[in-house]
Structures are given as C-alpha cells and as structure tokens.
Structure 1
C-alpha cells in the first residue's frame, strides 16, 4: 500500500532509532539557516585594490573569468599554462582543459577532454604532464592526451594531486583517500554523492592490514535519499523519504554496519595492500612505468614539492567533523616526507592518536582505533589551523622577489559548513620562514563580502589553490579557483558555485616589471564552426 503521509507506530520507532544512532551530523550542527537560493549571489569582478599584500609589493589581476582554475605552469619558451579543473562540488560538468598563454598574451586551448578535476600540471622534459581524476597523462605535441597511469583510487572524496620531479628524476604525486576518516558513510552519499554512483568505492590500503572489530551503525543511504540520488531538502523530508521506501520494500534494512577499508556495509578482518593505494605519495618513471609507494598514512596530500634543501614537502588536509566517524579539531599539516614513512591516517593526526579527547566530536561516540597495529608515526614539520585547506606552495628562489628560501603556501579556506565547522580559516597565501616556522599572511582579502558570503561576494581573493613563482623567481602567481558558497536546503548544506569567477593574481615588488605576458587577460572560447 502506498505511503499516505501517516506513520505507523513501528515505523515511528524505526525512525527514532535511526535518528538516535546516526552519527552523520544529524545531531548538533553548525549549518546555516535558510533555504536553497533561487538565484546565485552576484559576484563582483576581481579588483587588485581588494587584494592585500605587504608594503613594498603590488598585486594585479593577471587573468580573470576562468572556470575553476586549479594550476599554473611555465615552459622553456615563455609560455604559461593554466588548467581549468572541470569539476568542483556543485558543478560536475564544467570543461576540464588546459589553456596556453603566449608571451604576447595570446590564449589558446592546449588540451581538453580531461577527467575533472584536473588538480595539477607539470612541465618536464619539454612536455606537459596532467594529474586528473584517476590518471596521470601526457599531452603530446599534437595536443593529444596519452594516459601514463590509470586506475588510481580517485572516485571518492579526494583525488590524485600535485606532481613534482624528485632528485632521482622520478615524478612524485599525492593520492588522497576516498573517505574522511577511513569509513564509508552517509556523508559520502550526501552531499558528496559518490556512494550512490559508485557503491564499490572504498579506501585501498598501502600495506596489508589487520582491522579491529570497530564498526559504525549508519543509515542506509538508499533509504534516506529515497533512491533518488540527491534530494534537495532531504533532511526536512527524511520521515517521508525513509517511510516511503520502507513501505515499498519492507525487507530493506534501514541501518547498516559499516567498517574501515570496506565498501559500505561489508566486512573483513584482513585487507590486502595495493600499489594504487589511498592516502599515499606515489612515484613513477617519467614514462609512467615503475609505479610504487613512497610513503603512506596521509589523508589528502595535495601540495607536493621538493624544497631547496632537497627534502620532500607535502601539505595534508586534516580530518573533517562529519561522517560515521567524525573527528573534531584536526589541523592541517605540512610534512617532510621520508621514504616508507607512515603519517598516521586513519588513526592519528599530526602524530597524536585520535583517541585523544581533543578529537572527540559532539556528533559521534568516543573515537576508537581502526587498525590492530600501527607503524612508527611521523610527526609534522608544521601544523596549520583546522580546515584552512593547505594546498599547493612554492619556495622563493630569487632576491628579485625577496624572502629567498621562504615557503609561500596557498590555503583554499574552510569548507564551512560542509566540513562540519563554522570557522573562516584559510582563504589566503601564507609566507613561512623555514628557519623559525613563523607564518605571516602575504595575500589577503581586503574587501570581504557580507556575513556568510565573505569569500563569495567579494572582489578580492576567494579560494587560493596554488602559489607559484615564475621561472626567473621575480613574480609570484596565485591561482584562485573562484567563488563557491554554501546554502541550506532542509538541513543542508549544498554547494553553490559561481562558474567564471576564477582568477590568477600576480604579485611582484613595487616598481619592478612583471615577469610574463600582459595583465588582465580573459579567455574567450571559440564559437561553433569557428565563428
């Protein structure tokens, strides 16, 4: 019999049980009030006057109107390459492509047909390498894209990330995890969606593991979402959604026990390792052969770069307060990664066990270990505020710019409220003195928008994802992916991105000439039939 809007006592009891046992942020939240907006908030054009830099430096808009730019790179002939990611949360169908800017400022499409998100591009030995979802590829001189490595575990929350050439000539790159903290949960269905599209996705270990009996009772996503994939306002309508499915299929389980390193709802005590593993630094020969694990135990190793001291620096995004195993107060980290090092995920943060009370979330129970044994855990070189989202970085290499040897770090900014917090950390470029670990803002937003849209309705920097110096070291380029807001629908949140708001900022010493093409460039895609 169809569900008619009334709830039988047995169903009410089941719903109460679901709400009581779920640790998927149905408890106390910091989500904003309101409803999904009928219109995308207006985003003003970028203005260099809204980009704050220290005295003695000047900022300008090098390139604007980009659709989710994620990376910038330089070749040996003075050309600049900019990758448009092709995917952000809330906009999965944007073009994934690479643009080339000539020294005179002419812009052409260099490569397209990539699998978004494109997270990085790398010029090496006269050719461009691309890190895009599940693949490391090479752009041939003809513009054709040739895959070198495929099948990377990048269909969950995080992807394969930045590439860097090591002293041994091999290419190193980061590989993120599928989940927040090791367990596939309801957060991977809403709002991340991938559990509904790819229910076989889970974290792949770098080493053979013996797991504890730890499990988490979690609502069945197909029930909660009424098998429609992505219901706007589903929390408001959760009673109807679950009850309607339950009425149609009374044999369907409403609650599932989910475990670490398993597809949702499955279980095993021993898990076998794979080379294409989650939460790792991988390396390969420049032809894609010889893929191997260099280090493991990272959550989302986004920025990967060898420093002037010959050490490998990696930024790692900390745990979020969400999912079946929520973790509170976990900072981001920068690690000096060593061969075969283990960096703690999914049971440690910055060398501290997650069983420490500081990581206890109001959304979940006391955190338990997932692994039976732990290797020796490496500590961080430096920690950054929680959810600052430390991304890609570079070292100043020239007195022409100043601060030679200092690290310039882009921080995307908190995904509030998607990440389960209410802070406004990040949204900046930080200068770090490696000798003292002192960190100071270098690029900031001087004109934040109204409350709740500080980094959406603004002409200043919004979400920096890369800081990179020109080949001569005189100029710092900052890739700003653009305006991404969040709105509540029911109990929300949903991402509300604004395509075409991406910017490349360019910073140099005041009075000096900018290195590279002219400023204030805009890419105009060719129309159909070349008209």
Structure 2
C-alpha cells in the first residue's frame, strides 16, 4: 500500500523543522517513526530538526525547572522495543509543507502515467504553519512513479488553488477536489479565510487527437488532456504535464 504523509510544522508545543514531507511504502507490522523520526526517517533529536528558540516553548519534565527550549523526545524508543524505521520505506520526498494529501493510482491506459500514484499537494499555510517559509509550495497534483520514486508535476497553476483529493472515476477521468482560495489573516482564529465559492471539482479527461490548442494552433497528431470544471466550463491558465494542452475558457450560456 502507498500513503501520503503530511508531516510536521513549525508550530504548536513541539515544532519540527523537517526537511520534507513524504510518500511512503506501507507494509503490515512496520512502525513508521512518529513522533520520534523525521519524514526522512532520521531521529528528531538531531540538531538540524530543531527550529530557532523564538518558535519553541520551554520544556518541563516532572519538575518546576524548565529543561530549556529543546525539541526533545516524546517516547523512549529503546525502551519501547519498537524497531526504528528504515529510510528505504520512503517512496518519494515532497517539499517541506507541500502537504501531500489524498492519492489514487492512474489507470494503465493513461500512457506513461499509467500505474503511477497521483498525489494532491494541498500546500502550505505559512507563516502559521512555518514562520521560516518563503514562497509557495505544493498546490498541485503530482505523479509519483511507484517503482523509482520519480516525481512529475501533473496539474499546476491557476485556477487550481488548493487540491486536496484526487480520484479516478469509472469513466477513466481524473477528478480533483479543490478547496479553492485560502487567504492568511493573522487577525483571525484560526488565521485562515476560505473564499466562498472558490472551490470546485476539476475533471481531467483525454481529448481527441487533433484539434485546436490554447494558442489557437493545430494539434493534429498530438494526444491532449483537457482540464474543466465539473458541470461548467473549460479552463485556461493551468498546465497539464507532458505537452498536454488545456483549452481556453468558454463562457457557459
């Protein structure tokens, strides 16, 4: 089995400055290391995972005297008898805070993407989830080769905003659940403002060989993919991988 891991954040009572999020190979009986190991399956006691002191709270352990601002351990791994996780169980490294979420496997008739794992990366909510984050991450659907771990951005860019779920329907099309636009407003609690009506369900389908691309040119002999709003209009702006072309917006009605 495969799973997407939305990993640690630099927030809360135990902030972790991890290196990335992960997609994992899952097998029965394994302990994958939470909450003592990073997404790379390294001990969180290593100094590189500890964020700056200003983002940490003092640690107390059975005393009124603080131990300091340290990441520390939650459980004693050696005493627990648990087997530390193997880094080989990590299928793919996703950018830290990209928030890989729901996944599905592409049908075999999806050309070179057939059999690959499609992962919706919801993206970060910096600075709330990571005050050190600069620039956006995630907010796309990626294809992960389950044999090699190679990752390919599959659908990204406007109007796709916050993809959370990706599933293939009985018609062979890909369906993407998109939260829509999320604005950070630190005056709110929690500090997120979801824009009503901005979300939607996108449908990625095969288009006939030959036709007109988004620039008005001929696409004869090229296999295309189209991104459209379910029950609505075609979309412009988003990029679908591997020279797959997205149609321009056509106003409904």
Using structure 2 for the length normalisation, give the TM-score. Answer: 0.69
Please say if 1:439 is aligned against 2:151.
yes
Indicate if the aligned counterparts of 2:3 and 2:25 stay in contact, CA closer than 8 A.
yes
Q: Which residue of 1 aligns with 2:6?
A: 317
Aligned-pair CA distance for 1:505: 1.0
Q: Which residue of 2 aligns with 1:461?
A: 160
1:510 is aligned, of 194, 207, 217, to: 207
Indicate if the aligned counterparts of 2:203 and 2:230 stay in contact, CA closer than 8 A.
no
Question: Could you give the per-residue CA deviations for residues 372-405 of structure 1, whole angstroms, max 9, x where no partner exists?
Answer: 2351132322221111010111111132565211
2:169 is aligned, of 462, 470, 489, to: 470
Structure 2 distance, partners of 1:439, 1:382, is: 7
Indicate if the aligned counterparts of 1:388 and 1:414 stay in contact, CA closer than 8 A.
yes
Runs of 4+ displaced beyond 6 Å? none
1:370 is aligned, of 68, 74, 81, to: 74
What aligned pairs does 1:50-449 form with structure 2 within 5 A after superposition?
312-350=1-39, 351-362=41-52, 363-364=55-56, 365-374=69-78, 375-378=82-85, 379=87, 380-400=90-110, 402-421=112-131, 422=133, 423-445=135-157, 447=158
Indicate if the aligned counterparts of 1:322 and 1:420 stay in contact, CA closer than 8 A.
yes
Structure 1 distance, partners of 2:144, 2:46, is: 28
Aligned-pair CA distance for 1:324: 2.0
Structure 1 distance, partners of 2:15, 2:118, is: 31
Q: Which residue of 2 aligns with 1:229?
A: none
Aligned-pair CA distance for 1:313: 0.8
Larger radius of gyration: 1
Relative to structure 1, is the Cα distance of residues 402 and 330 closer, same or farther in structure 2, using a 3 angstrom cutoff?
Answer: closer
Q: Unaligned 5+ residue runs, structure 2? A: 57-68, 210-224, 234-253
Structure 2 distance, partners of 1:326, 1:398, is: 41
Q: Which residue of 1 aligns with 2:237?
A: none
Give the structure, 1 or 2, with the largest relative contact order (CA under 8 Å, sep 6 or more).
1
Relative to structure 1, is the Cα distance of residues 518 and 434 closer, same or farther in structure 2, using a 3 angstrom cutoff?
Answer: closer
Structure 2 distance, partners of 1:340, 1:438, is: 26
Indicate if the aligned counterparts of 2:4 and 2:119 stay in contact, CA closer than 8 A.
no
